[in-house]
Amino acid sequence: MSFHRKFLIALISLLIPFSAVGAAQAANETVSAETILKPRSGSFYKEKAVSSDLELDVVVTPGSGQVLVDPLKNVKVTFPAGMTFSANNKVCTDSQLNSQSPLGSPKTIIDACQSSVVGTGTATILLFRQVAHPLDDPILVAFNAGKTANGQAKLKIYGFSKGTGVGILMTGVLKGRVLDIAIPVLSYDSAVANFNLAFPGPKLDRPDIGISTQGHNPNYVQAICATGSQVTEATFQLGTRDPSTGEDTGPTSTKVAPTSTKPCNGIAGKAKLGGVKVKGPNAVKNGRKGAFKVTVKNNGTATAKKVVVTTNRGGKGKAGNIAPGKSKTVTVKVKIKGKKGKKVAVKFTAKAGKVKASAAKKVRVK
């Protein structure tokens, strides 16, 4: 048995008699949650989402004179409007990482899903809930766990403390703007004092526990700034549980963090039509109309408004508004006239105000 482990066991035996004294002073905690959200390069736009850096800071603060802090059971964070997680196909599956994995071996856990890391962080816990005995060595690693059937991004969050030698596994799903994380019972009946989790995650270099990792998806967080402010809200649930069974041993208190509001500046951007693609008949009888499907994509940073597709041989299709990064397909009927057996060029032009793009298709006259 290591000296550190012996020390912890001795410490806990000393702390147990004080738990009853401090119990009456628990549940006076205050909580806070803040996010720092910045574009990885350039500026935010009002409409087009850009790859962003996200940092989440969560703090549980004991009340004045409080000896014990109730453990954190759940935290529900509402991120700023316009922010989302964009999961790629590098998924940490349940077969690779689950509650039966060797959570006490951080190297094994990280190696199992190294390419799926999307966030890193640190935490401070209070051993045996005691304010006087913080332990600040825990690490956090977030993995891309894919998507739900509804397309919502899923996370696995692994936590490990060298001081306790114990690892935990948490899961979360981003539903709209809300990330709901259930926190299991921590070793030695510890309480969370704070944690910081950053995406895509700076390098977490801990040779003492055999890991070196960082986030591998720079596009995992996508965000816009449409309102001029970033608002973060959070709700915490705290309460005591039996360390061996996880069953509640006291009431659960719900605490709402003060709303965190930070300014942001989203620029208007510009529409840019491109990637016009045409599908339709390769041959049409002379004087007859052919129906062509024209797909228009907006590669710009603002909505292309009232997009209309016309041709050099008549015919029109209305695509309406096309958001940044989106495409729309319209059907345009074109009368084909010419000498039998010859090919005629049909030019399709998509236009939104002064912005336009075109593509041509050659059609044989039958």
DSSP 276-336: EEEE--SEE-TT-EEEEEEEEEE-SSSPEEEEEEEETTS-EEEEEEE-TT-EEEEEEEEE-
pLDDT tens, position by position, 147-156:
999 999 999 9
Read off the pTM: 0.87
pLDDT tens, position by position, 67-119:
999 999 999 999 999 999 999 999 999 999 999 999 999 999 999 999 999 99
The domain limits of the chain are 26-267, 273-365
Residue 24 vs residue 228, higher pLDDT? 228
d(CA 348, CA 334): 10
Nearest to 253 by CA among 65, 71, 107: 71
Whether a cis peptide bond, with omega within 30° of 0, leads into 200 is: yes
pLDDT tens, position by position, 321-346:
999 999 999 999 999 999 999 999 99
pLDDT tens, position by position, 154-184:
999 999 999 999 999 999 999 999 999 999 9
Q: Which CATH number fits domain 273-365: 1.10.10.10, 2.60.40.10, 1.10.101.10, 2.60.40.290?
A: 2.60.40.10
43 within 8 A of 298, measured Cβ to Cβ: no
DSSP 68: B
Q: Where does the pLDDT of residue 274 fall: very low under 50, low under 70, confident under 90, or very high at 90 and above?
A: confident
